[in-house]
Amino acid sequence: MHDMHNWLLPENIEDILPAEAQRVERLRRAILDAFAAHGYQLVMPPLLEYVESLLTGSGHDLDLKTFKLVDQLSGRMLGLRADITPQVARIDAHLLNRAGVTRLCYCGSVLHTLPSGLRRTREPLQIGAELYGHAGIESDLEVQRLMLEALGLAGVPGVRLDLGHVMVFRSLIRHADVAAELEAELFRALQTKDQTALRDLVRPLDARTQGALLALPQLYGDVAVLGEAARALPDYPEIRHALGQLSTIADAMGRAVVQCSFDLGEVRGYHYHSGVVFAAYAPGWSNAIALGGRYDEIGKAFGRARPATGFSIDLREVAALLPAPALRPGILAPYGDDAAQREKISALRAQGETVIVELPGHAGSRADYGCDRELVQKNGKWEVVNLA
């Protein structure tokens, strides 16, 4: 008797079985084809690379998520990628080195040391698109529309777009000349929406900054929040610019989604993003089904400052709630070495049919094959007939 531990998988790591695999693969192809139609070129970065390169420009957000191991060839520390976006930024900065706008897309597994939610996998299948070389709001709108198109292909209903802007918090911190240690504590309190901790932390700051930081977690809701924010926050140029960008997006995207909401206390990816951040939510999903934002700083870390904006989706998570595709029943063909039969089988497969050749000595029932027709020889010709 085999030890059951030989085939048990680690926690939050799962196989993808045929029905789900087909669902995921159909969606992958449809989304990548849509990306290609918009001019996004596919790249395939490696599963592992040197840790320094993987974590460059991403701050410490990714560090704890990344599995690390020692390279037997160089003795250096390698990481298994926990996010593909920094890899694509490296490709844009160093390998392609184009001067103008570059549109890239990708799809591949990433690995996380810990699951990001109760029932979430530690091996998401990340698909996404990135646009480099354009700093304007137009490129943010392009990737948001592309994300909605991808979710539409997945059949996700009632998408809500949730928007924030990291420059709001960053501008308050810079103008108040907040020390790095206090900035990190304020960031944590905002991230967890811990109002009590926030109240204690803002005490040493000037009254204007205090009021603004305490107001941030309350600045959440529909487009009216942007007006409230303009009244509650200091009139710094960066904040004015950030609110203007969010207002532009609200006008442009309001017709494309069920609802646009705004969260000015949203600091997700603060060490990584540099402008508009966005997330897509839908009924039936407890977590965001897509995440994105602007991250102009990352190219600088690779020695080439480039504006950048993009998004990613966990394909497995989106596909899991979709109905299984209807399996088209196949055609059962007898085992044989007849040239005319082989030609007929090839022609049927070229037309998109599934043809399964019944191997000799197979003891299973014919229903095992999932076929509703069979290939038979009539008057010297091979024909498809319904299974009796």
Q: Which of 325, 378, 356 is nearest to 22 (CA)?
A: 325
Q: Would you mind telling me the total number of residues written for the chain in this entry?
A: 388
Structure letter (DSSP) for residue 142: H
How many CB atoms within 10 Å of residue 335? 11
Angle at 327 between CA 332 and CA 44, to 5 degrees: 110
Per-residue pLDDT of the chain (388 residues; tens, 9 = 90+): 455 567 788 888 888 888 889 889 999 999 999 999 999 999 999 999 999 888 876 656 688 899 999 999 999 999 999 999 989 988 988 777 788 899 999 999 999 999 887 678 899 999 999 999 999 999 999 999 999 999 999 988 889 999 999 899 989 998 888 888 888 888 888 888 888 888 988 888 888 988 989 889 899 999 999 999 999 999 999 999 999 999 999 988 877 666 889 999 887 766 677 889 999 999 888 889 999 999 877 767 677 778 999 999 999 989 887 777 777 789 999 998 899 999 999 999 999 999 999 988 876 666 677 888 999 999 989 999 998 7
User: How far separated are the first and last CA of the chain, in Å rounded?
Assistant: 41
